[in-house]
Structure 1
Amino acid sequence: MFQLVEKAVLWMAVLRIFSGSLEIIVAMIILKVNNIEKALAINSTLALVGPLILITTTAIGLLGLVDRISFTKIIWVFIGVACIIYGVRSGN
């Protein structure tokens, strides 16, 4: 009947719910300020949160898998996350 949720999965979901809620709240704040300069500043501040959530949820997931996968695979996942962040942040 009831299925237990792994702690790592639960915390990953909680972080994503928090992140999504924060995005919605910031969108409403941007609409409320109704000023392009302030909206851009608010949006830029929010842009810092996304990568932190990505790194944190990935780390939690990997910690949940640490006994099931090799250390080399964990390193490859972190390298992949770093490449994603670099690609998104890169201006060119």
Structure 2
Amino acid sequence: MFLVKDKIVFGMAMMRCLSSLIELTAALLMLKFDSVGKALKINAALAFVGPTIMLTVTTLGLIGLSGKLPLHRFILIFCGVILIFAGIGKAR
């Protein structure tokens, strides 16, 4: 199917696959329960999953780049991730 040479890339892709399976499972549970209240509870649980997956995938990517980027680039990336979460937090 796919020949993956880099374990970091494989880990990042698997985390995204896990995320998509969690999302699909949540959608199917919403349909099964057929209740707006329960669907909102399931959706609230997904609000925790998305950022966690993003942080994990970003961390894996940074680990993969650890020997290739200078320190100031890592700081810029870290600041960017912090700004993303700050922006999301202000939207609520």
In the superposition, the TM-score normalised over structure 2's length comes to 0.90
Counterpart position of 1:54: 54
TM-score where L is the length of structure 1:
0.90
- For structure 2, list consecutive stretches of 5 or more residues without a partner in the other structure: none
Deviations 1:37-71 (A, max 9, x none): 11101100111010011011001001110100011
Q: Residue 76 of structure 2 corresponds to which residue in structure 1?
A: 76
Report Cα offsets for 1:14-49 as digits up to 9, x if no partner.
000000111011000011111111110110011101
Percent of aligned positions that are identical: 37
3-state secondary structure, aligned to 2:67: coil
Is contact 2:4–2:10 with CA below 8 Å preserved after alignment?
no
Shift of 1:84: 1.2
> Could you tell me how far 1:91 is from its partner in structure 2?
2.8
CA 67–90 in structure 1, closer or farther in 2 if over 3 Å, else same = same
Root-mean-square deviation over aligned CA pairs: 1.6
- Aligned-partner Cα distance in 2 for 1:78–1:33: 40
**Structure 2 partner of 1:27:** 27
Gaps of 5+ in 1: none
